[in-house]
């Protein structure tokens, strides 16, 4: 009887541990997925930056507007870079609760970055389209 | 008789795709321009393939690296950043297999371009190389202007990838390893997160090594 009880306790304990690990992995994946999406957007943002740079160098009447868009593009790109640098995917020494809390906050942060990136990307693209620059 | 003729034709076509060493000839990627010239009084049409343009970056030792440092060498290029939490650790683990296979060969190089130059300074790149166990000059971790790196990636190195895709970009952070031949032409792109594709890359480097050297003036 004692053996059965011991086996049941061990099984419950192992299942709980595995469940916690799975929760942490799912939360980490959710953050990384947004990050990877932003990386694709960042590439398109750099394309727009090159086009805006060339518009500024040509000294056209649209120079000031182009310079303003470059500022927004650089800001969005820089914010993403800073987040990547500070993000700690290993989370060494943190408890399960601390990890879940950390990843929850990082997901919110990275979603805000995604919004900022989209605003810069869509705005700069619309501006370039109006100027017939592709 | 017809069967025999068919087999002969198939063998002839297959044989034409082999190089002198018996390995497959690798494809060429990017734009190609036909050029007509006169050789020994006869008009011949040659093809000029797209090449990697001149560039200037700084490596993990603080040295300037340009296309001149790669003259006549075969190299593999990839794009990464040191704080990348997703695919880069897997890519660089797989790239270590390429490094270990060819680190004794001075004519084979690896170029890893950072796409986060804001934080990936020379010091950070050196620390990253040390952590991977990379020493010497076989594998350079390169830092330059971010938009220059992206432009070089999209317009040149990843031409093989964009040729096969309809999406407008988004390839730089997808873990591709790009193979460049001795004449700066792109000859292959491999998913750097897949060990079997990296093994194919190693095999293809050996194929490129066996290609005959270009004739002087070509």
Interface of A with B in 11-70 (CB under 8 A): 32, 35-36, 39-40, 42-44, 46-47, 49-50, 53
Q: What is the DSSP string of B122-167?
A: HHHHHHHHHHHT--TTSEEEEB--HHHHHHHIIIIITHHHHHT--S
Q: How far is B120 from chain A (nearest CA, A)?
A: 9
The domain total for chain A is 1
The answer to whether residue A47 sits within a structural domain is: yes
pLDDT for A40-92, tens place per residue? 899 899 999 999 999 999 878 888 999 999 999 999 999 999 999 999 999 99
Of A43, A53, A89, the CB nearest to B173: A43
Asked if the Cβ–Cβ distance from B86 to A32 is below 8 Å, we say yes
pLDDT digits (tens, 9 = 90+) for B49-101: 899 999 999 999 999 999 999 999 999 999 999 998 888 889 999 999 999 99
DSSP lists the bridge partners of residue A10 as: none
- The CATH number of B51-209, from 3.40.30.10, 3.40.50.300, 3.40.50.720, 3.40.605.10, is 3.40.30.10
User: Is residue A74 situated within a structural domain?
Assistant: yes
Domain with A84, as residue range(s), is: 21-130
Question: What are the contacts of B67-71 at 24+ separation with CB within 8 A?
Answer: B67/B184, B70/B109, B70/B111, B70/B180, B70/B184
pTM (predicted TM-score): 0.82
Q: Do A43 and B119 touch (CB under 8 A)?
A: no
Complex ipTM > 0.90? no
In a domain, A50, yes or no: yes
| CA distance linking residue B59 with residue A99, whole number of Å | 36
B89 touches chain A (CB under 8 A): no
DSSP state letter for B120: -
Strands of chain B (E only): list them: 32-39, 42-49, 56-58, 64-66, 74-80, 108-114, 139-142, 176-180, 186-191
Instruction: Identify the CA nearest to A69 among candidates A126, A133, A132, A30.
Output: A126
pLDDT bracket for residue A14 (50, 70, 90) = low
Where exactly are the structural domains of chain B? 51-209
Q: For strand B186-191 and strand B176-180, is the pairing parallel, antiparallel, or unpaired?
A: antiparallel
Instruction: Find chain B residues with C-beta within 8 A of A109's C-beta.
Output: none
């Amino acid at each position: 009887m004692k053996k059965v009880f011991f086996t049941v306790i061990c099984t419950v304990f192992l299942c709980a541990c595995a469940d916690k690990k799975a929760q942490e992995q799912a939360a980490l994946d959710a953050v990384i997925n947004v990050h990877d999406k932003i990386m694709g957007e960042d590439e398109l943002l750099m394309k727009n930056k090159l086009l805006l740079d060339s518009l500024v160098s040509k000294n056209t009447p649209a120079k000031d507007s182009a310079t303003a868009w470059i500022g927004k593009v650089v800001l969005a790109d820089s914010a993403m870079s800073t987040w990547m640098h500070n993000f700690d995917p290993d989370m060494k020494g943190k408890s399960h609760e601390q990890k879940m809390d950390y990843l929850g906050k990082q997901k919110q942060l990275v979603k805000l970055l995604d919004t900022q990136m989209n605003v810069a990307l869509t705005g700069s693209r619309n501006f370039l389209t109006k100027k017939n620059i592709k | 008789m017809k069967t025999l003729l068919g087999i002969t034709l198939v063998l002839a076509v297959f044989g034409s795709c082999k190089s002198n060493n018996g390995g497959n000839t690798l494809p060429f990627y990017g734009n190609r321009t036909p050029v007509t010239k006169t050789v020994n009084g006869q008009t011949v049409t040659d093809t000029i393939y797209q090449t990697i343009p001149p560039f200037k970056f700084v490596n993990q030792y603080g040295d300037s690296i340009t296309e001149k440092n790669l003259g006549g060498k075969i190299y593999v290029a990839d794009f990464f950043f040191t704080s990348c939490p997703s695919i880069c650790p897997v890519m660089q683990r797989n790239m270590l297999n390429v490094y270990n296979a060819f680190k004794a060969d001075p004519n084979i190089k690896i170029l890893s371009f950072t796409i986060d130059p804001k934080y990936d300074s020379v010091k950070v790149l050196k620390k990253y190389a040390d952590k991977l166990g990379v020493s010497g000059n076989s594998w350079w971790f390169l830092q330059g202007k971010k938009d220059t790196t992206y432009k070089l990636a999209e317009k040149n190195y990843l031409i093989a990838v964009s040729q096969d895709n309809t999406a407008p970009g988004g390839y730089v952070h997808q873990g591709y390893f790009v193979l460049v031949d001795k004449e700066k032409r792109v000859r292959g792109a491999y998913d750097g997160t897949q060990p079997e594709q990296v093994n194919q890359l190693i095999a293809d480097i050996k194929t490129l090594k066996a290609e005959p050297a270009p004739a002087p003036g070509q």
